[in-house]
Amino acid sequence: MDMLHIRGLHKRFGDKEVLKGLNLSVPEHSVFGFIGKNGAGKTTTMKAVLGLLRTDDGEIMVGGEKVVYGQTSSNRFIGYLPDVPEFYPFMTAPEYLRFCGEITGGKRSENEKRSKELLELVGLGDETHRIRGFSRGMKQRLGIAQALLNRPRLLICDEPTSALDPVGRKEILDILLAVREQTTVLFSTHILSDVERICTDVAFLNDGVVSIQGKLSDVKSIYRSDEYLLEVERKEDIQGLMRAFRFMRQRADYVLAFHEKDHALFDVLRYVTEGRVSLSKLERVEPTLESLFMEVVEK
């Protein structure tokens, strides 16, 4: 079942149409990377999912329940970490979680237990300082703990790693992976290596619509490139191959690249097996998310 399903979402700010019929399906228990460049409409989409934004057209379902602007009932399924989370700086992490627990209700003893568990999970279990002195990474981790307080079925994080250094980013990514057991994770980002590291599913948001979405492995294989890299053991074979095949391009001292077109691969293999070349590697170039994304954006 889809934890989140969006169909035909439209949103305009003045004369600027930001979302132009966006469709999105986030399967339950996926770690879903919502990818788009600055200004693509990621935050706008997330706010619409939370019912915080009046949209112009389209339908949003969370956990099978329709989202209605200004009503919060579907938010009981959702934990949300905004792009710039705000905290009370004079509180400590446990005080802050206790405060959030009191606002949202629930038994005090249960809240205490859950807070402790979550602070351990995000690596703040022994932290006694006030939030004022927290690094950005610590604030993001506390934000995730807070978002998980009510055991949401969908955790939405708006660019949780964008402002962090590589160590801080890795900590957040590890936490998002770890919570996958408990909840579906949807996070927005423009850092494609983060997505490659932890996501099961991805969607590219571009020009107001989702242009590609699906399982990361499917997306990569559908958009598989037709480029091959061929590595030889003897440098002199490079010249021979380039003379025989005009379409080959040199990539490094021992490496040539070519596109599979008009039986190119077959012809190259025949040339190689006829004994003239000693190969050390022949491989199809796997597309990276980066290359896919650039293709989508530049279209």
Ligand X SMILES: Nc1ncnc2c1ncn2[C@@H]1O[C@H](COP(=O)(O)OP(=O)(O)OP(=O)(O)O)[C@@H](O)[C@H]1O
Kindly list the residues in this chain that would bind ligand X in the complex (CB under 6 A): 13, 18, 36, 38-44, 83
**Using CA atoms, how far apart are residues 244 and 259, in angstroms rounded to an integer?**
15
Task: Give 212 or 264: the residue with its C-beta nearer to ligand X.
Answer: 212
Which pair of structure tokens corresponds to residue 31? 């770690």
Task: Give 18 or 31: the residue with its C-beta nearer to ligand X.
Answer: 18
Task: Give 17 or 260: the residue with its C-beta nearer to ligand X.
Answer: 17
DSSP character at residue 40: S
Task: Give 160 or 287: the residue with its C-beta nearer to ligand X.
Answer: 160
Per rule CB under 5 A, is residue 162 in the interface with Mg ion? Answer: no
Minimum separation from the CB atom of position 162 to ligand X (A) = 8
Strands (E), 28-84: 31-35, 57-62, 65-66, 78-81
Task: Give 159 or 171: the residue with its C-beta nearer to Mg ion.
Answer: 159
Minimum separation from the CB atom of position 163 to Mg ion (A) = 12
Beta strand 209-215 with 201-206: parallel, antiparallel or unpaired? Answer: antiparallel
Q: What is the CA radius of gyration of the chain?
A: 24
Tally of CB atoms within 10 A around 295? 15
Beta strand 184-189 with 154-158: parallel, antiparallel or unpaired? Answer: parallel
Determine phi and psi for 130, rounding to 5 degrees.
Answer: -75, 155
Contact map string, positions 12 to 51, toward Mg ion, x by CB under 5 A: ------------------------------xx--------
Minimum separation from the CB atom of position 218 to ligand X (A) = 24
Task: Give 9 or 268: the residue with its C-beta nearer to Mg ion.
Answer: 9
125 contact, one of Mg ion, ligand X, none, CB 5-8 Å limit per kind:
none
C-alpha distances in angstroms, 188 versus 185, 195, 203?
A: 10, 9, 10
Residue of 34, 23, 32 whose CA lies nearest to 57: 23
89 contact, one of ligand X, Mg ion, none, CB 5-8 Å limit per kind:
none
Minimum separation from the CB atom of position 161 to Mg ion (A) = 13
36 contact, one of ligand X, Mg ion, none, CB 5-8 Å limit per kind:
ligand X
Minimum separation from the CB atom of position 83 to ligand X (A) = 6
Residue of 241, 228, 65 whose CA lies nearest to 153: 65
Chain residues in the site for Mg ion (CB under 5 A): 42-43
